Amino acid sequence: MAASAQSAPVVRGTRPPPTTSLAACGALLRRDFVLAWRRRGELFLPLLYAVIVTALFPFALGPDPALLGRIAGGVLLVIVVLAMLPALESMFRSDLEDGTLEQWLLAPQPLALLALTRVIAHWLTTVLPLLVVMPLLGALLNLPTNVLPVLLLALLLATPLLVLLGSVLSALAAGARRSGILLALMLLPLAVPVVIFAAGAVAAAQSGMPYAAPLIWLGAALVLALVLAPLACAAALRIAVES
Amino acid sequence: MSRSYVPHWIHWLGSPPNFYRFAGALKPWLLLAALVTGVIGLYGGLVLAPPDRYQGDVYRIIFIHVPSAWMSLFIYASMAAAGLVALVWRIKLAEVVAMECAPIGAAFTLITLCTGSIWGEPTWGTWWTWDARLTSELVLFFLYLGVIGLYNAFEDHRRGARAASLLALVGIVNLPIVHYSVVWWNTLHQGSTVDFLDLSKSSIAPSMLWPLLVMTLATHLYFFASILGRTRAGLLALEGGKQWVRRLVTEDAA
């Protein structure tokens, strides 16, 4: 490993190429953060979308606070899932088009590890802002204050799970003709159990019942997906890159 | 000389022109058998079987609903198996078979959902309910549509078939969920009545069981006939410019 670091050309003003897998993941994370920062205006769009759709519900259903409070948990869950969809679609597209994905395939690091790093970067840059803005959206829909922490916890478990599932589907669709709704059609059937359990936890908290069980199921699914989804994503990326 | 563990006829059948001829010869017989068994099953179910103790004659939709439901699961498993072969061994024929399974499976799933709805209205008092069995079957329908949609989104059909095969494999987790939904959850949909490992233990009357099994055989035969026909068409579409297709067309014309 040391020999390869010495023989690799060092371009002035840049870091030396990573030698360990962890360093490679760090480099990938740094790249994704820099790219996200350069188009930080775009990251506000899902937030804006979530706020506008949340505001639509009182217009559509009437401003009765009791009604809004009853449906707020489930509605916010669905809004987060829908707001995540557009960004999920383009997770790998730009890298496929400019040849970065082929470098990933040639890298000595396992492709699944690089895919997992991309998933983490995507969740941190795209989904975390949505979760940060949840209290504001909850206030718009009169969400009961005791339900908000449970909603946030459910989303903290459900959104990485959805991003992991979405990464596999996004890699599958990366080489396809651009079709806006295709990822939604593929992701939503797989997202149904996730939404069911997350909504179950929120509904239980809203009626004062114990809510730990659905959250534990979500946690188990998340752990399973953390291990298996990057492997499936790597297989999908290999299919996407071959011409 | 190395001994191959794969029989020679599997290699022979994997070649598109050979499969085209084989499927063309077999399909009419399978279709005829499906028609005959279908007529026998429907006659046994609609005419010969007695009315149900509680539901009267409404229950007779079971002879379409249950075989279609079993087919929706069987075809998905077949699609996933063919997809696995296509992904691992890159066999062109497996790709075509996997992709041609999807519309047939989607149709059977739609028939299951619709006939189930029609059955539920007079018996449960509702066209639809969100219990585990119905929801997971609906998810199965969306999975079929996803496979079809993903395959058609690719310009290169071979790459599209491999991508859609991976999607089908990811969705295979839904199959045990559909099957065991009535065991794991408290559902409005009834539990299983037919035990395939010991048919005598089934909680359905024998006069109703035999038409059900005959209809199951009929739908399986129909599926095999249909997939042979669709695969022939798919092979022609995929291999259009090849020598064997051209020879086929000129022989037909001559």
The pLDDT value given to residue B2:
57
Nearest by CB to B166, which of A179, A185, A235? Answer: A235
Pick from A89, A92, A164, A186 the residue to mutate for testing the B interface (most B CBs within 10 Å).
Answer: A186
The pLDDT value given to residue A2:
47
Cβ separation B166–A175 shorter than 8 A: no
Average model confidence (pLDDT) for chain A? 90
Q: Which A-chain residues 12-71 have CB contacts (< 8 A) with chain B? A: none
Reported ipTM: the value is 0.83
The pLDDT value given to residue B249:
84
Burial class (CB in 10 A: 0-12, 13-18, 19+), B99: buried
**What percent of chain A lies above the pLDDT cut of 90?**
71
Q: Which A-chain residues 195-234 have CB contacts (< 8 A) with chain B? A: 232
For the cut 80, the answer to whether the pLDDT of residue A5 exceeds it is no
Q: What is the dihedral of CA B66, B67, B68, B69, to 10 degrees?
A: 50
Best CA proximity match to A160, nearest among A235, A100, A95, A80: A80
Nearest by CB to A242, which of B153, B159, B174? Answer: B159
Phi, psi for B29 (deg, rounded to 5): -65, -40
- Under DSSP, is residue B52 helix (H, G, I), strand (E, B) or coil? strand
Q: Rounded to an integer, what distance in angstroms lies between the CA atom of residue A96 and that of residue A230? A: 17
The pLDDT value given to residue A7:
58
Nearest by CB to B150, which of A172, A190, A232? Answer: A172
The pLDDT value given to residue A230:
97
**What percent of chain B lies above the pLDDT cut of 90?**
71
For the cut 60, the answer to whether the pLDDT of residue B219 exceeds it is yes
Nearest residue on chain A to B141, judged by CA atoms?
A189
Give the pLDDT confidence of B102-122 residue by residue, as tens digits: 999 999 999 999 999 999 999
pLDDT-derived band at B253, boundaries 50, 70, 90: low
Least-confidence region, from A13-27, A64-78, B67-81: A13-27
For the cut 90, the answer to whether the pLDDT of residue A211 exceeds it is yes
- What are the angstrom distances between the C-alpha of A144 and each of A37, A139, A148, A241? 34, 9, 7, 48
Average model confidence (pLDDT) for chain B? 91
pTM for this prediction: 0.89
User: How far away is chain A from the Cα of B211, in angstroms, using its nearest Cα?
Assistant: 34
More confident residue, B203 or A215: A215
By the 8 A CB rule, do B65 and B193 touch?
Answer: no
Q: Which residues of B touch A190 (CB under 8 A)?
A: 170-171
Cβ separation A173–B150 shorter than 8 A: yes
Q: Which A-chain residues 148-187 have CB contacts (< 8 A) with chain B? A: 168-169, 172-173, 175-177, 179, 182, 185-186
Q: In this structure, what token pair is assigned to residue B239?
A: 């291999």
- What are the angstrom distances between the C-alpha of A62 and each of A59, A144, A217? 6, 18, 35
